[in-house]
Amino acid sequence: MNREGAKDAKEEERRMNQLGRQVEELAYGVIGAAIEVHRVLGPGFLESVYQKALQAEFQTRAIPCHPKKPVAITYKGHPVGEGELDFMVGDILIVELKAVEKLSPIHEAQVISYLKMTKKRLGLLINFNVPILKDGIKRIILSS
């Protein structure tokens, strides 16, 4: 590798480390906001209630987000439909909300599919229908 190539590689590594720190900071902020929503509302409401409350909490905490963000779904380069993320946070973190008795593998598969379609690395799957919210949070990382 020549000097220019080494310089480019170091710059790319620095950029990826910075992006990693940024996504982790956002994830920390999102989890804190979700804990506050759960502390105030508790379990038992519809997902739409938690989404509106979490959006309000994001605003209060100045966490940048796009609620109900559409995402294009492609098949071998062909557009075949559209999905909808509950939240895209800071344009780098996917947040998917649930209010179910128990998270199932299909919920995780949904987040993995969204990560693939958006080319993002980290998603948070948050189930508000639990007594203690930390038991309802699942980090999903798309491995490269």
The domain of 62 spans 3-141
3-state secondary structure of 14: helix
Confidence of residue 3 (pLDDT cuts 50, 70, 90): low
pLDDT tens column, 49-60: 999 999 999 999
Write the pLDDT tens digit of every residue in 66-124: 999 999 999 999 999 999 999 999 999 999 999 999 999 999 999 999 999 999 999 99
Q: How far apart are CA 31 and CA 122, in angstroms?
A: 13
Q: Measure the CA–CA gap between 101 and 98, rounded to whole angstroms.
A: 9
What is the reported pLDDT for 2? 66
Structure tokens at 28: 């920390």
Q: How many domains does the chain have?
A: 1
Find all residues with CB under 8 Å of 94, minimum gap 6, and list them. Answer: 85, 87, 88, 111, 114, 115, 118, 120, 122, 123, 124
